[in-house]
Structure 1
Amino acid sequence: MPFAVLVTVVSAALSASPVPAAADPEPDRLVPKRTVREAPVDLPSAMARFWVAYSSGADPRKAAAILDALLRAEGTPSEPVRRAVRMLVAHAGGDQRRAWCERLDLLGVPVPPRHAAFLAAAFAASDQAFGLSRQTPVPTAQTAYAGHVPARMTDGDAATFYWSDGAPQPGTQFVLDLGRVRPVQGVAVAMGTADRPRDFLRSGVLEGSVDGVDWATVRQLPGLPTVTATLGPGSRDVRYLRLRATAGQRHWLAVREVSVRPGPTDAAGDGDPATAYRVTGGPVEVNLGVDQPLERIVVLADRGTRQGVPVQVRDEAGTWRTVGRLGGEYTDVAARGIVAGRVRVLFGPDSTGTAVREIVVRPAR
């Protein structure tokens, strides 16, 4: 759900049940205007007002102070919400380092059920402020039969499946776009169904590509309904995976699931701050797929990360250039005017154990 829509839904839910005004036995004309006090703000209203201030770009500090006082009165269970409010205030004020420190303290903290919607919206807003995004793999294939669409190849449910509306012919392709270049260790493809066990690709090849133009063979299909492939011994950078038929067959094709096993460094570029890559004494690299002009490079790491570690880009000539150095748990490096296809943080043996949460590469606009 987009952040703006999520905030709207949360705000509406929080303000749906206003507190009724107390009955006043005396008409207002008998009460001097200077003694009339505003009705106290309840927690749902305070949350809704805070979201209005934050999402509109106004200064949210006053609304945050009112909300914080109400949350503090609730006691310990509301501490994660108070921290989330401080995180968003820091984002609004442009203090991204402070916002990241607050976010670190929220990792793994139990979420109070009654405040789950607020925290979900807060995390979505924080992701947006940091430039984080989580891509969902998108499969494409020839026309599907009776609603068995390609998306069923990657829905995580082996009971659903993609089903072609005809038998594959030589050159027929089934492509999975991972959304970005990812380090991949292994791939598994489950074909056929209980009712149609012979609907699998008999002659074909599993291939990988960074750009969707140049393809490399991952493995030849073994003529079995289940295919597994290791891209090792380490990981291989790919964005696209495809099954390509090399011969025709009589049976149609049913694909229950295509699953990808990412390499460890994928955690540093998956758009999810809850995951982390534990440095093993070598560089952490992000492959952009193609050379492109950059704007900024942001590195989000755990506390205790060593300062001064080089942040480098590989330019069009294939040369690694240092463009900045780590500043601890939060680093923001300007890279305007640089064209590069890869970014890395050049950790050495003395950095073993450091956790990198995300390397965010922002392309030039």
Structure 2
Amino acid sequence: MPPGGRRPRVAVPLAIAALTTVVGAALGATPVPASADPEPDRMAPRRSAREAPAELPGAVARFWAAYAGRGDIRKSAAIVDALLRVEGPPADPVRRAVRVLVAHAVGDQRRAWCERLLLLGVPVPPRHAAFVAAALTASDRAFGLAKPEPVSTAPTAAYADHVPARMADGDTATFYWSGGAPRPGTQFVLDLGRVRPVEGVAVAMGTSSRPKDFLRAGVLEGSVDGVDWVTVRQLPGRATVTATLGPDPRDVRYLRLRATAGQRHWLAVREVSVLPGPTDVATDGDATTAYRVTGEPLVVNLGAAQPVERIVVLADAGTRPGTPIQVRDPAGTWRTVGRIAGQYTDVAARGLVAEQVRVQFGADSTGTAVREIVVRPAR
């Protein structure tokens, strides 16, 4: 429970409200005929494992309301749990998802993460998929997990609907089209959404109908902060460009194509893609991915220096406690702000200004899996 004993207010995703009706149906609710009602002194007839009580959709709706702070969360959860028990083992993932949200609502994030770990890889029956998905979305928000989306920008309007976003949509069949020929100094920038350790970059330009629409003279550059740029490679005058940033991954948030000369042809960029370094999964906003510790320190680059309030490390069960968690200030000094406490760690950085965060794993930590490192900036 947070200081002062106050229960934290938990924001419910907008999608959850819309899912309430869908979730009720997905949970397999079927009306119970009047003939099935028990007589006053007789036991209720036993339902099949596939039949959910008719009361379940309403109970689920009240549970979500309680999660939003408009009711007794423990009571609502107990009612949903009791109604789900009649389904037997198929409903176990739903019951665990309910426990995850209850833990979040009462401020017990460690318990929420322990329950969440037990959901990893567990198959969810289709009729329960909507509820579990909504619960995991709510849990992600409570933990501060977010999957940044890349954003592409160009200096001029695109031709027709070939907008800059199409150069980073994961589909080489779509493309950005410049709507004009690049001039010296014209820049096309891709923001990856966060600082990422990157091993390689690939740029696919031109199209089947316009094979000559690629950047003839230019440079591919990378940056952590969007201010200071380093050359990744000179463009070779071909439609397909690949670059290795190694031998070790390089921290990058922004990638830039910059024309160094004018040309007659327009520019079509089908895709800019990156090959992430192994540690990228520790900050990708996805609790289902994991970085397997090799005995080396795990470093997270924050880009520009910023005051940090808290650092949360979400790891697998069996993670040994004691590993130092450190922050590096702009002067290059590392300060220990706490230590790994097992599978869930939440340490205060007390507003220290930091450029990097480091978990000082050693040889005795080999095999540990880190699901996510969440760095909460000071407000």
The letter for the 2-side match of 1:139 is: S
Secondary structure of the structure 2 residue equivalent to 1:217: strand
Show CA shifts across 1:8-42 (max 9, x none): 1111334689959959xxxxxxxxxxxxxxxx862
Is it true that 1:195 corresponds to 2:209 in the alignment? Answer: yes
Partner of 1:11: 20
CA contact (8 A) 1:3 1:124 kept: no
State the TM-score, normalizing by the size of structure 1. Answer: 0.92
User: Aligned to 1:182, which of 193, 196, 220?
Assistant: 196
Q: Could you say if the C-alpha distance between residues 270 and 8 of structure 1 is closer, same or farther in structure 2, counting changes exceeding 3 Å?
A: same
**Contact 2:178/2:268 (CA < 8 Å) preserved in 1?**
yes
Contact 1:59–1:92 (Cα < 8 Å) also in 2: no
Residue 337 (structure 1) shift: 2.7
CA distance in 2, matches of 1:63, 1:225: 59
1:312 and 1:198 map into 2 onto residues whose CA distance is 50
Q: Give the AA of the match of 1:91.
A: H
**Cα distance in 1, alignment partners of residues 12 and 214 from structure 2:** 40
Looking at structure 1, the residues matched to 173 and 360 of structure 2 have their Cα atoms a distance apart, in angstroms, of 44
Does 2:86 correspond to 1:73?
A: yes
Spell out, residue by residue over 1:161-202, the C-alpha distance to the aligned partner (whole angstroms, 9 max, x if none). 110100011011110001111101111111111100110111
Q: 1:309 to 1:259 in 2, by over 3 A?
A: same
**Quick one: which of 35, 50, 54 aligns to 2:63?**
50
Q: Decide whether the 8 Å contact of 2:13 with 2:137 is kept in 1.
A: no
The number of aligned residues is: 348
**SS of 1:323 mapped into structure 2:** strand
Provide the secondary structure at the position in 2 that maps to 1:338.
Answer: strand
Residue of structure 2 in register with 1:96 after alignment: 109
Alignment counterpart, residue 64 of structure 1, candidates 65, 77, 80: 77
- Matched ranges for 1:232-311 at <5 A: 232-311=246-325
CA distance in 2, matches of 1:140, 1:297: 32
Q: Distance in 2 between matches of 1:248 and 1:57?
A: 62
Q: 1:250 to 1:147 in 2, by over 3 A?
A: same
After TM superposition, list the pairs within 5 Å mapping 1:306-317 onto structure 2.
Answer: 306-317=320-331
Pairwise CA distance, 1:241:
0.2
Secondary structure, counterpart of 1:342 in structure 2: strand
| Equivalent residue, structure 1, for 2:41 | none
Query: 1:3 deviation in Å?
Result: 5.4
2:300 touches 2:357 (CA, 8 Å); kept in 1? yes
1:57-99, Cα deviation, whole Å (9 max, x unpaired)? 6431111111111111111111111110011111111111110
Q: Does 1:230 align with 2:244?
A: yes
Name the structure 2 match of 1:129. 142
Is it true that 1:109 corresponds to 2:122 in the alignment? Answer: yes
Find the counterpart in structure 2 of residue 29 from structure 1: none
Separation in structure 1 between the aligned mates of residue 162 and residue 282 of structure 2, nearest angstrom: 34
Distance in 1, matches of 2:247 and 2:54, equals 61
1:207-255 per-position Cα deviation (integer Å, ceiling 9, x unaligned)? 0000100000000001110001111101000110010000011100111
In structure 1, give the amino acid aligned to 2:343. Answer: E
- Percentage identity across paired residues of the two chains: 74
CA distance in 2, matches of 1:266, 1:259: 14
- Counterpart AA for 2:321: Q
Change (3 A) 1:53 1:154: same
Give the partner amino acid of 2:206.
G
TM-score (norm 2): 0.88
Between the aligned partners of 1:297 and 1:103, the Cα distance in structure 2 is: 19
Moved over 6 A (4+): none
Mapped to 2, the partners of 1:188 and 1:130 lie a distance apart of 33
Alignment match, 2:6: none
* Displacement after TM superposition at 1:56 (Å): 2.8
Q: Which runs of 5+ in 1 are unaligned?
A: 24-39
- 3-state SS of paired residue (2:226): coil
**CA separation in 1, counterparts of 2:31 and 2:124?**
26
1:288 Cα offset (Å): 0.7
Distance 2:150 2:77 in 1: 38
Aligned partner of 1:344 in structure 2 is: 358
